[in-house]
Chain A
Amino acid sequence: GAVVSQHPSRVICKSGTSVKIECRSLDFQATTMFWYRQFPKKSLMLMATSNEGSKATYEQGVEKDKFLINHASLTLSTLTVTSAHPEDSSFYICSAQGTSGRARGETQYFGPGTRLLVL
């Protein structure tokens, strides 16, 4: 199936710093990318939907100024957690959806996730 990479896989940072997470579709063009957050033993919660070349659409309760999303190309989206605090510690997962290459148009393909720990 289609492959999505995510970098870094794990990051530890100090409170107040910003962290950037990259999500790449490796063998297809991702017209849409999604960012999720997952707490331990809980399910995925959608944070925002990102379409290439346009502003992201954030879910209710997600601060757009805190979680900056950029989808500059058809293979790359970034999530920047600004002024991170310990409560932002979580597992962040991106997914990508597209119709080219090995991707089935209706399916979201998930990256391996980024575990963020804010001290």
Chain B
Amino acid sequence: GQNIDQPTEMTATEGAIVQINCTYQTSGFNGLFWYQQHAGEAPTFLSYNVLDGLEEKGRFSSFLSRSKGYSYLLLKELQMKDSASYLCAVRHTAGNKLTFGGGTRVLVKP
């Protein structure tokens, strides 16, 4: 089976940094995605990691350790518009399906 855990909620201040952790247990691992979802909207793609290490894209970075079943999404220089849910999703080799974690709601305060 698959099990993906991430914190339910985090609060941070505008301009600060926040790190969202995601741990997973799965068979047939074929990559990990991070998506951003604003309330009532569809998820938008942020990052994809399939190899160990850090992927940096502007203010957002994502890290993966396959041996530890662990990933994190790092958001730097937080802006008010970054208030959203951040979804960790594991891709499986069987059928390219994604299994999503419960999502982490990030609230950015002034």
Contacts and interface: CB of A to CB of B under 8 A. Distances in A.
Contact of B98 (A1, A6, A46): A46
Interface residues of A, number: 24
B81 to A, nearest CB: 18
Contacts, number: 51
Given A32-B96, A43-B103, A110-B43, 7 more contacts: A43-B87, A45-B100, A108-B33, A108-B98, A110-B35, A110-B45, A112-B42
The A interface is mostly helix, strand or loop, or mixed, namely strand
B106 to A, nearest CB: 14
Interface of A: 1, 6, 32, 34, 42-46, 49, 57, 91, 93, 97, 104, 106-113, 115
A110 B91 contact: no
A109 B98 contact: no
Interface residues of B, number: 22
B48 interface: yes
A43 B50 contact: no
A107 B91 CA distance: 9
B101 A34 contact: no
Given A1-B45, A106-B50, A110-B43, A34 B97 contact: yes
By CB atoms of chain A within 10 A, which of B40, B42, B48, B100 has the most? B42
A107 B43 contact: no
Contact of A110 (B31, B44, B96, B97): B44
A43 B96 contact: no
B48 A44 contact: no
